[in-house]
Amino acid sequence: MPRILLHSCCGPCAIIPLQFLREQDWTVHGFFFNPHIQPYTEWCKRLETLEAFAERLNLPLIVRPDYDLEAFFRQVAFRESARCLYCYAIRLEATARLAAKSRFDAFTTTLLYSKRQKHDLIRTLAEEASRKHSISFVYEDFRVGWKEGQDQAKTMGMYRQQYCGCLYSEWERYKAEAESEKNRSTAKDKERMKLGDKGETITVPTKTQNKHAPPQPLNPGSNSANCNGVFKNGYCVNTK
């Protein structure tokens, strides 16, 4: 059977591509080369997950262990918005070069599985690497199996990362989450204020309260500073 080199970014993303390629009668070898993953502990965690998956599925795995953090930041500094171009290119270039050198029949990548990656850019760069190294590139839109792959990863108890890989993507992921939580909190505060306008009971923070003071109406323009307790239906239950 023909042999194909599958660039693998992580275990969960390899599930569907491996399944599909084997169904197409390819002999698949995995290739882990992902120097963009940060911090280093995250890189180790993803590699360990992929190695466990490869052992479980009898997938031969080639690991390139070099981790040149300085080179990554030198390449993307002041070009952060275009960092994915560099990140995709170095990995696909390395995969094509290894596939040609090791006499594989073709190569492909698990990056084509993720719904969160720049799919068209990945395909374009892979095709360029294919022409440069005279090795066939097998294009498949593995995204069609996205949900199935995620479900299988959960069933197998695999570690599933929460961001793409580099520190920029981690920052973007958790920044967006924090802003979303802040917006939800603001919406809840506004809703509570609306309930207060409709005459609902709102407790006003106070140091002391006089429980025996009679209610006093608060007319528009009145000095609410005299109130020191609970508003209800436009009345101040406690006063100073």
Q: What is the DSSP letter of 196?
A: H
The answer to whether 166 and 72 have CB atoms below 8 angstroms apart is yes
State the SS3 of 2-26. CEEEEECCCHHHHHHHHHHHHHCCC
User: Burial letters for 78-114: b for 16+ Cβ neighbours within 10 Å, e otherwise?
Assistant: eeeeebbbebbbbbbbbbbebbbeeebebbbbbbbbb
Distance separating alpha carbons of residues 222 and 32, to the nearest angstrom: 71
Rounded distance between C-alpha atoms, residue 43 and residue 40, angstroms = 5
Report the C-alpha gap between 140 and 123 in whole angstroms: 9
The reply to whether omega before 205 is within 30° of 0 (cis) is no
Q: How far apart are the first and last CA of the chain?
A: 89
CA 161 to chain centre: 7
Please give the chain's pLDDT, 240 residues, in tens: 999 999 999 999 999 999 999 999 999 999 999 999 999 999 999 999 999 999 999 999 999 999 999 999 999 999 888 899 999 999 999 999 999 999 999 999 999 999 999 999 999 999 999 999 999 999 999 999 999 999 999 999 999 988 888 888 887 877 877 777 777 766 666 777 776 666 665 555 555 555 555 555 545 444 455 555 555 555 555 554
